[in-house]
């Protein structure tokens, strides 16, 4: 039963380790060096291969109500930064999508913030908006995922596809589709309750509507974009959905670590924030998908950020948020997810771009470097912590994990590295301890290329800017991104990862069998 599975996961959630064992942290006190040995199984088969667009981004549908703010599709600066994240999806979805109407033609009478006097006013999608965002995606190498309005219902209680059909008949672009956003919360936001079975039936209708139009046969559909995974009612909803439809190209769920209204910097630096929720959610969704789908069926983290409610002010867009973002990428790949969609590329307190001038925030730079260095093949990692007498532990087990390591084959598309190279993602969440990391076996004793990220300026963890190897990362100009230059760690020397830092480490001449075939 789902409830029994959830209780099991809940009991063991904080014991589940997807990053690797480490020693307990000394949160305050004298700076020390702690020694770790990391063993990457570079000659074994990859444990997972992520999707081509694994790291993707989202813009909230509510941006339509604000006339996109400063998200100017014709901006050379925006196009330059976005093109650097390709290949990726751009998801246009969110709460406002469940109150969205495609209107053609738009006559200028549409209110800029929707109808007034209701909690969730209507959002109007005009043909110009549709063409603008699709042309932007085409120009920058992204693929649009668009969320249709599931709350449009017939008198009989099913989904009413009439407005969606108007959009489909107007559209000339290559688009993927969703239907509804977090249907588990419909009762709260629209006083409507839909069962998972009914939503599955609605998705079957969407597939029929698509297949009735030749150009949409085979179009990608993703869903159900369910939130609050782990609660009994949402688990029941997801199981009902999966039991009624097999029309989706991936099963999607949403996850946030924290409540943005009350989250603190210390919350962002607590390993329990990383391990206390998401691993159990991934396990639960994957177990349900495996029950109703064929082996290898894809699971997506279809919307995710550091904190719900728009993010934590002056935290979710700062350096400290990078610990959550980078660990989520490593954890999700390690646990078998195909795609992770970061909320948001632009908008809210968790924006990756400045809301006024579009300058890149720290999480943008993480994504930029990740796209260059991290490939799709995921490798198994073991780490021996510095505790005296401890035994090597795999990605499960241990106390709070302040030092976290993930490994992938290096991407050869844009990095300049040859096949066979290995990229390590390393996070040190210790406040005082430097992590002295030695690589074992296949990767031991080799030259390492370091790409270390630290906060720039006096704000420390809440800095809106970031250093790469002690030099600040900035755009060269509106059409040029900086080259990412490594610091070389000579053969036989350890990786010294400072307290409260994260980065990427490439073993260029690893000749890893997992990365050569």
Q: Which of 37, 178, 182, 465 is catalytic?
A: 182
Query: Is-catalytic flag, 485?
Result: no
- Of all residues in the chain, what percent carry a pLDDT higher than 90? 87
- Of all residues in the chain, what percent carry a pLDDT higher than 70? 89
State CA 164 to chain mean position distance: 27
Cβ-contact 173, 144 below 8 angstroms: yes
Average pLDDT, the chain: 91
**What confidence score (pLDDT) does residue 389 get?**
37
The angle, 0 to 180 degrees and rounded to 10, between the axes of the packed helices 127-140 and 162-170 is 50
Average pLDDT score over residue span 14-24:
40
Give the span between the Cα atoms of 145 and 307, in whole angstroms.
22
**235-284, pLDDT tens digit by residue?**
999 999 999 999 999 999 999 999 999 999 999 999 999 999 999 999 99
Total count of residues recorded for the chain: 517
Q: Which of 37, 178, 303, 465 is catalytic?
A: 303
Place of tokens 């296949």: 442
**273-320, pLDDT tens digit by residue?**
999 999 999 999 999 999 999 999 999 999 999 999 999 999 999 999
Nearest to 411 by CA among 367, 452, 445, 377: 377
Sign of CA dihedral 74, 80, 85, 87: positive
Whether this prediction's pTM lies above 0.75 is answered by: yes
Query: Is-catalytic flag, 182?
Result: yes
Using pLDDT thresholds of 50, 70 and 90, give the confidence band for residue 119. low
**455-469, pLDDT tens digit by residue?**
999 999 999 999 999
Residues 6+ apart with CB under 8 A from 108: none
Cβ-contact 318, 279 below 8 angstroms: no
User: Is the pLDDT reported for residue 411 higher than 90?
Assistant: yes
Give the span between the Cα atoms of 188 and 233, in whole angstroms.
14
Surface-to-core class of residue 30, CB atoms within 10 Å of its CB (0-12 exposed, 13-18 middle, 19+ buried): exposed
State CA 241 to chain mean position distance: 23
**What confidence score (pLDDT) does residue 18 get?**
37
**What confidence score (pLDDT) does residue 6 get?**
38
**Could you give phi then psi for residue 130, rounded to 5 degrees?**
-60, -50
**187-235, pLDDT tens digit by residue?**
999 999 999 999 999 999 999 999 999 999 999 999 999 999 999 999 9
User: Is the pLDDT reported for residue 24 higher than 70?
Assistant: no
Nearest to 325 by CA among 424, 377, 255, 373: 255
């Amino acid at each position: 039963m789902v409830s029994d599975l959830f209780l099991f996961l809940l009991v063991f959630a904080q014991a589940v380790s997807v990053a690797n064992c480490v020693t307990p942290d000394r949160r305050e006190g004298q700076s020390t060096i702690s020694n770790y040995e990391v063993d990457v199984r570079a000659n074994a088969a990859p444990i997972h291969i992520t999707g081509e667009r694994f790291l993707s981004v989202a813009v909230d549908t509510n941006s339509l109500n604000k006339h996109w703010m400063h998200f100017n599709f014709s901006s050379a600066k925006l196009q330059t930064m976005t093109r650097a994240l390709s290949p990726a999806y751009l998801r246009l979805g969110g709460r406002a999508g469940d109150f969205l109407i495609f209107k053609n033609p738009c006559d200028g009478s549409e209110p800029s913030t929707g109808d007034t006097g209701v909690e969730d006013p209507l959002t109007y999608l005009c043909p110009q908006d549709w063409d603008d965002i699709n042309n932007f995606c085409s120009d920058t190498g992204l693929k649009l995922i668009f969320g249709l309005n599931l709350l449009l219902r017939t008198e009989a209680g099913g989904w009413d596809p009439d407005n969606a059909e108007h959009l489909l008949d107007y559209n000339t672009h290559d688009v993927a589709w969703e239907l509804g956003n977090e249907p588990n919360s419909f009762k709260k936001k629209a006083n409507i309750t839909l069962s998972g079975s009914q939503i599955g039936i609605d998705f079957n209708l969407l597939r029929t509507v698509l297949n009735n139009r030749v150009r949409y046969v085979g179009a990608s559909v993703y869903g159900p974009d369910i939130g609050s995974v782990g609660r009994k009612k949402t688990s029941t909803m997801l199981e009902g959905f999966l039991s009624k439809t097999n029309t989706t190209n991936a099963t999607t769920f949403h996850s946030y670590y924290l409540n943005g209204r009350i989250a603190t910097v210390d919350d962002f630096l607590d390993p329990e924030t990383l391990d206390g929720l998401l691993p159990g959610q991934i396990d639960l969704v994957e177990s349900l998908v495996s029950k109703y789908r064929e082996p290898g069926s894809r699971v997506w983290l279809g919307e995710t950020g550091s904190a719900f409610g728009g993010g934590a002010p002056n935290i979710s867009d700062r350096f400290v948020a990078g610990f959550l973002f980078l660990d989520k990428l490593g954890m999700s790949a390690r646990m078998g997810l195909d795609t992770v969609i970061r909320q948001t590329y632009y908008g809210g307190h968790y924006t990756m771009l400045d809301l006024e001038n579009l300058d890149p925030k720290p999480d943008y730079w993480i994504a930029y470097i990740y796209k260059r260095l991290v490939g799709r093949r995921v490798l198994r990692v073991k780490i021996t912590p510095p505790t005296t007498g401890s035994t090597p532990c795999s990605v499960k087990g241990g106390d709070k994990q302040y030092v976290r390591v993930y490994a992938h084959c290096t991407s050869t598309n844009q990095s300049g590295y040859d096949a066979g190279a290995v990229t390590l993602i390393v996070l040190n969440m210790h406040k005082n301890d430097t992590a002295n990391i030695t690589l074992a076996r296949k990767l031991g004793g080799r030259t390492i290329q370091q790409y270390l990220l630290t906060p720039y300026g006096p704000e420390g963890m809440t800095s809106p800017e970031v250093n790469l190897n002690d030099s600040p990362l900035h755009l060269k100009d509106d059409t040029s991104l900086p080259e990412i230059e490594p610091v070389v760690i000579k053969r036989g020397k350890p990786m010294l990862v400072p307290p409260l830092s994260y980065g990427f480490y490439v073993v260029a001449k690893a000749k890893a069998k997992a990365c050569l075939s």
